[in-house]
Amino acid sequence: MFAKGYNIYKLIWIFVITSFIGSLFEILWVLVSTGKLMSRSSLLYGQFSVIWGFGCVLLTVVLHRLEGKRDLLVFSVGVIAGGCYEYVCSYLSEKVFGVIF
């Protein structure tokens, strides 16, 4: 069964698919909110957002360990892990690249 467990190949597919969907989501968000069509890709080739891909892989690995646990626990850990990931990405982008989002 494909959905049972994960390995490096599944994580690569999760990264590719979610980085593409994340990029499309950001393009649509900017289009709806500003009326401008703007590429939100973080790579030179292809419409991929690395931040979305890494975030989804991180959440997959972290939340997979909680399989079979209470929904509230999985939700709470997901919120905390997602929030920490967002904060670390924001902090690094500001300190390393001097960019504030």
Q: What is the 3-state secondary structure (H, E, C) of 73-92?
A: HHHHHHHHHHHHHHHHHHHH
Cα distance between residue 82 and residue 75, in whole Å:
10
Confidence band (pLDDT; 50, 70, 90) for 99? confident
| pTM confidence score | 0.81
In this structure, are residues 93 and 51 in contact, taking their beta carbons and an 8 Å threshold? no
pLDDT in tens, 21-74: 999 999 999 999 999 998 887 888 888 989 999 999 999 999 999 988 999 999
